[in-house]
Amino acid sequence: MVTADSASDEDSRASPLSHHVVGGGDGQPLRQINARRVGSLGVVRGTLDRMHRSSSVLALAVVLVAAPASAGPPAPNGLELGARVAWNTNDQGSFALVGIRVGGRVVPHVGLGAYVDVAPFGPSLRCAPCGPAADRPFRLGGYFDFHVLPHRVVDPWARFGLGLVRTGRSAADVELALGLDLRGRRVAGGPFVMWVIPLDDQQPKNWVGVGAQVSVSF
């Protein structure tokens, strides 16, 4: 005959894990399960905290990088006066070129005006058919500026100029220039590189210069 006590003994032998599931015995397995759950939650929370900190740092970096570019002063919209100095070289020698320009912005991105460049220092240049006659370089003409970021603190620009150059005799020339301005409220300035291309084969060739310019807007 099967008694209640013997049935209970058989059930406990048939289910040796039942005490572990319900926390029987001294409760040690249940505490282990709880400890593992707490540990897993701690890992998840730590991961989320690191992700939050990383995203915060990334957002701060984006703001710091974008702020100087977006916090520029108003773009010039009127008269501009400028001056520049550049060290130039061509196939006849090297010399300093000093220039002034007067112009203005048609729209924030576009400027128009006139320039004059002289070479107070350095060798006199000559045109090939002019014999012994030689003059210090003298240039004048008009220019067209295109400003890439006129509303920003850092403003790259490109310039196209068309005018006359005199080195013993006058001839037409073209100027191409690329520069980078750091802008304040009314004053801007920075480095540039320029190429002068005489449209007369008898004029000096391979003409390139590097310098800095400053401009004031009104």
Two tokens, residue 70: 């977006």
Contact 141, 112 (CB under 8 A): no
Instruction: Give a yes or no: residue 53 inside a domain.
Output: yes
- Do 94 and 120 reside in the same domain of the chain? yes
pLDDT category, 147, cuts 50, 70, 90? very high
- Do 22 and 84 reside in the same domain of the chain? no
- Do 123 and 25 reside in the same domain of the chain? no
Q: Say how many CA atoms lie within 13 Å of 72 toward its Cβ.
A: 20
Phi and psi at residue 148, to the nearest 5°: -75, -45
Q: What is the number of structural domains in the chain?
A: 2
- Do 119 and 204 reside in the same domain of the chain? yes
Residue 200 has pLDDT above 60, yes or no: yes
Two tokens, residue 122: 């350095």
Range of the domain at 188: 79-217
Looking at residue 127, its pLDDT comes to 54
pLDDT digits (tens, 9 = 90+) for 31-84: 665 556 555 555 556 555 655 555 565 555 444 444 444 557 887 888 999 999
- Do 31 and 65 reside in the same domain of the chain? yes
How many helices and strands, by DSSP H and E, does the chain display?
3, 8
Ranges 56-60, 132-136, 147-151, 163-167, most confident:
147-151
